[in-house]
Chain A
Amino acid sequence: MITAEQKPIEEIREMIGPYKRVLVVGCGSCVAECAAGGEKETGMLASALRMAAKMEGREVLIEEITLDRQCVKDFVIQLDEVIDQYDAVLSLGCGAGVQAVAEMYPELPIIPALNTEFLGETRDQGLWVENCVGCGDCMLYFFGGICPLARCSKQLLNGPCGGSMDGRCEINPDLPCAWQLIIDRLERFDALDRLERIYPPKAWSKKQGRGPRKIIREDQQRVEV
C-alpha cells in the first residue's frame, strides 16, 4: 500500500485560503488503511476546517465526500454530479490520487492535504514501514524476502557494510540492519549460499531514467465496437 500522513493543518489552511467553496475528498483505499485520508479523517479535517473558518468569521462552504479510490478514473468520475458547486478540491488522496482528480477536472485547483510517503506494509496496528522502492526488477528471491534496496540504508546488494553492529544500522539504532535480517532469514531455510555470489550493478533505469513509468496492457483496454 501507499502510505501518507496529513499535512499540518496550518499548511492546508493556507493553501485553501483563497477559496470559498471547497470540496474535501477522501479516499477509501491505502490512505484509509494508514488512517490519513479515509472517511473518518476526511470528516475530522472538514469539521476542523469549518470550525477554524467560523472562528475567523469567514464564510466558507466546506463539504466532504469519500471515494473508494482516487486513482481510478471510474471512481473519480462520480464527482461529476457535484463538482460544479465548488471552486476548489482538497484531496486526501495520495499523490497519485490528487493528480488523477486534477487530470479529471483540470480547471479546478486540486489541493493535496497529505504528504505521500512510501510503499509499505502495516507491520502492526499503528505501524507502517517502508519495504519496497518499486525498482522494477524484484530480487526478493535472492534475499529471503527482505529487500536490501528498501531496507538497507545504503541499498547494498552485497552487504553488510562495516557499520552494522548488534544487528542495527549505523544511521539509527532503531533500524535493524537489513543484511543481518537477510542473513538470519536465509539461514533459516539453509540458503546462505545465495550470498556467496556477487550481485552485479542494478539496472536503475527500470526504476528511473526513462521518465515517468507506464504500463500498457492491450488485453485490458476498452473494446471499441
Chain B
Amino acid sequence: MTDKRQFTLALFYCQNIPESSLPERQALEEAYGPSLKLFPIPCTGRLEPLHLLRALEEFADAAYVIACPGGACRYFEGNLRARKRVGVAGDLISAIGLERERVGLVANEDGDPKPLATLAREVMDRVALLEPSPVLNKKDRQKGDPP
C-alpha cells in the first residue's frame, strides 16, 4: 500500500481474543493510524449485520470480524452466529454491487490461539487487494472519529 492510498479497515473483535486488552488495542491503533479502527465486543455473537453495513456506509473500506475458534466460544455458539450474520451482510452488499469480500470473519486457531495484533495483520493483508470503497467519498475519509 502506498502512502497516498487510503484504506480503512473496521475490525470487530471478541474481547476474549488473547492480548486484546485496552493498552494493546491502543498500541495497535497508534501503529496503524487511520488504516485500522478497532471495536471490541463481549462476544461476536452480539454482532449484527447492521454494524458491518453502517461501518461500510460511514467510513470503512472493509469491515471484518475476529472470532474465537469454533467450539471455543465462551457463550457457546456466538461465533457460529457471527459467521452467519457476516454471510447476510455479504449477500446484501453484493446485491448492491459491492464486493462480498469487503466483509468477512476470521476465526482464531484452535489449540494455538494468536494474539489480536497477529490476527489484525492477517486481515489487513487479506483486504489489501481491495480497491478503496466506491461508497466513500473524500468528505467521508476526512471525517473525524466514526460514530
Q: Which residues of A contact B (CB under 8 A)?
A: 8-10, 13, 40, 43-44, 47-52, 54-55
B117 at the interface (CB under 8 A from A): no
Contacts A9-B96, A55-B98: A47 and B50 contacting too (C-beta < 8 A)?
Answer: yes
Residues of the A chain whose Cβ atoms lie less than 8 Å from the Cβ of B96? 9, 13, 48-49, 51-52, 55
B49 at the interface (CB under 8 A from A): yes
B56 at the interface (CB under 8 A from A): yes
Residues of the A chain whose Cβ atoms lie less than 8 Å from the Cβ of B89? 44
- How far, in angstroms, from A47 to B97 measured CA to CA in the complex? 14
Residues of the A chain whose Cβ atoms lie less than 8 Å from the Cβ of B49? 40, 44
**Can you report 22 A-B residue pairs in the complex whose CB atoms are below 8 A from each other?**
A8-B95, A9-B95, A10-B95, A40-B48, A40-B49, A40-B50, A44-B89, A47-B53, A47-B54, A47-B57, A48-B53, A48-B93, A48-B96, A50-B57, A51-B56, A51-B98, A52-B96, A54-B57, A54-B134, A54-B136, A55-B97, A55-B134
- How far, in angstroms, from A47 to B53 measured CA to CA in the complex? 6
B92 at the interface (CB under 8 A from A): yes
* Residue in B92, B98, B134, B135 whose beta carbon sits within 8 Å of that of A44 in the complex: B92
Least Cβ–Cβ distance between A59 and chain B, in angstroms: 12
Residues of the B chain whose Cβ atoms lie less than 8 Å from the Cβ of A44? 49-50, 53, 89, 92
Least Cβ–Cβ distance between A89 and chain B, in angstroms: 20
- How far, in angstroms, from A168 to B30 measured CA to CA in the complex? 62
Least Cβ–Cβ distance between B69 and chain A, in angstroms: 24
- How far, in angstroms, from A55 to B140 measured CA to CA in the complex? 13
B6 at the interface (CB under 8 A from A): no
Q: Contact between B48 and A54 (Cβ–Cβ < 8 Å)?
A: no
Q: Contact between B50 and A54 (Cβ–Cβ < 8 Å)?
A: no
Residues of the A chain whose Cβ atoms lie less than 8 Å from the Cβ of B97? 52, 55
Most buried by A among B53, B96, B134, B137: B96
Residue ID in chain B nearest A45 by CB atoms: B92
- How far, in angstroms, from A52 to B57 measured CA to CA in the complex? 10
* Residue in A9, A10, A13 whose beta carbon sits within 8 Å of that of B92 in the complex: A9
Encoded as 1 (CB less than 8 Å from any A CB) or 0, chain B from 69 to 89 comes to 000000000000000000001
Residue ID in chain A nearest B98 by CB atoms: A51
Least Cβ–Cβ distance between B137 and chain A, in angstroms: 7
Residues of the B chain whose Cβ atoms lie less than 8 Å from the Cβ of A54? 57, 134-137
Residues of the B chain whose Cβ atoms lie less than 8 Å from the Cβ of A8? 95
- How far, in angstroms, from A52 to B136 measured CA to CA in the complex? 11
Least Cβ–Cβ distance between B30 and chain A, in angstroms: 30
The 8 closest A-B pairs by CB, nearest first: A52-B96, A47-B53, A9-B95, A51-B135, A43-B50, A55-B134, A47-B57, A54-B135
Residues of the B chain whose Cβ atoms lie less than 8 Å from the Cβ of A50? 57
- How far, in angstroms, from A44 to B96 measured CA to CA in the complex? 12
Residues of the A chain whose Cβ atoms lie less than 8 Å from the Cβ of B137? 54
Residues of the B chain whose Cβ atoms lie less than 8 Å from the Cβ of A9? 92, 95-96
Residue ID in chain B nearest A10 by CB atoms: B95
- How far, in angstroms, from A13 to B92 measured CA to CA in the complex? 13
Residues of the A chain whose Cβ atoms lie less than 8 Å from the Cβ of B136? 54
